[in-house]
Structure 1
Amino acid sequence: MSFCTKMSSNSADDNVVLDYKKLLEQVEEIRNQDVGLESVQSISRVMSIAEELVDKVKKPREIGLDAKVLEISSAVVQQNAERFDSGFRPEEFADKLINKLTLHDTESSQTDSLIWQRFREKFSHLLPLAPRFDYLLGTIDKEKVQRKVRQPRQPQSRNEGTKELIKVLANKSTMQDNEIGQQHILDYISRLLVKTYRRNGEKPISYFKVVLSPNSLEETCQNILHIAFLVRDSFVKISTGEFTSVFLM
């Protein structure tokens, strides 16, 4: 072994000895302190450091220092244990714990509502609350809502016979409310179609000009239905012209 290697080994050994001496000073200070949780925690930290130093122990002197640290540490732990045991009564501790936990239950004047109220006051800040909102459905006052006034559409220009026919088709559809049968309505409409056909010079009548009512979808649907019945009964015929327009024959 060279001189440098030997000097390095001696330096490492000296460091281990110094570390153990520091631990001895710490455990002596802890032993002179008052017993309690703080002293136990301090001893726990010292023991952790001692466990790391054990791997570096090589000489009898170092082993002796380690044993001394363990001896004093054990004495401190024993001292704390005796102190705690002398003043600790398990039965008394259990009674106090039960009384503390059941304090609110023994109050006969408290009701369930008061208990839940106290619970809410103490723990409401821990519970995430959903944002408040109200439904609009059913809360709007209909009396205050002003209805929108619709402007009537301007009727398109039609020949006199077609206008009269559309008006009669729409008006005669209400005869059902006056206990007049469907057949009477169709007979009346068929007579008007004949008049319109003759007035038009016995030329085909435009189907759309007859059934379409620009001011009422309901009237238009009724007119389509009545013309369909007349076609079914073979009173009128429908054909397409040169420009694919539909005509009544």
Structure 2
Amino acid sequence: MESNEEQTGIPLMPYRQTDNERMLLRKEYRKLIKEVQDNKEELIKPECGQLLDHVNVANTLFKRVTTTREGVLDSKFMALSVTLAGQKTNLLQTDLVAFEPDEFMEKLVTKMEGRFITEDEDKVDISSDSWKSMGEYVSKFYTSVNPVLTVMSGTFDFVPKPIRPTAVKATEMAADGRADPQHLTRFDGDKKEATPEEIENVLRVIRDLYKNQPYPIDYFELVVDPESFGRTIENAFHLAFLVKDGFVRIFLDDENSIPVVEPIERPEDRQSQMNKKCSQVMVSLSMEEWRDIIDAYELEGTTPYIKRSTQKSKQSGNSSSKRAKT
């Protein structure tokens, strides 16, 4: 028998829900979701099986879903049910059957007709015949051949390996057979660590300058070496150690607001300076800024205040640069 579609040649339109039917379906979904949310503490208990009943109800409702709006409610319910199912799984007790060594030992002793010698059951007396009977009993549960340790070609006798003395190269042996130490052919004595000596040199320069002209020294005039950018960075680095140890202090000049340096001579002042809460300042100096300072202070061609410790420090009377006065 031909269908109506085959008879008329016109495709049948799919069933279209009315607004009232869709509204009723959404109402049932919301009721189901609210019921699950209100009873979620009960539903996650391992012995409770109502969560599966609610899922079956949702599957029945889903057969009537034809639009996206109702599909969103179904997805919301499924997400909620999956969350509760995960919580329910975490509460399940998976260690219901556990191996108890003490119980297993008691069963073995009973099976082999043994007896406990001590009251705390630490020692057990089992006859050799009982062990043999137990071996015959459990052997039927093993289908493969039981492994047996046998020696096929005899045993290996342990022979300790002799300790061989460390061989010494013939070229390093003296005529009498004693080891001849290696001789140094080159020694760079001028490459020792010179940082402490350089720091003392900077302190000596500051004290000499302040002794001849007792007012603060301009920071940039002190540390800048117009002939070497690297020496300028080293001078600032060495000066930072003197500030840290309380031998000198750096502050801003009241007149020009530029950093100046002043030595601390008395021990009590030095201790007071070290106990003060000082602020650390990160000094950044590029090569371009270094050249700008040389031009601003007119240091080109002048002798730097701080020379290397192997040279004699510059005297303040021979300086062509200007000192900041407070």
**TM-score category (smaller protein):** 0.3 to 0.5
TM-score (normalizing by structure 1) = 0.32
Point out the structure with max Rg over C-alpha: 1
In terms of fraction of residues, the more helix-rich structure is: 1
TM-score (normalizing by structure 2) = 0.25
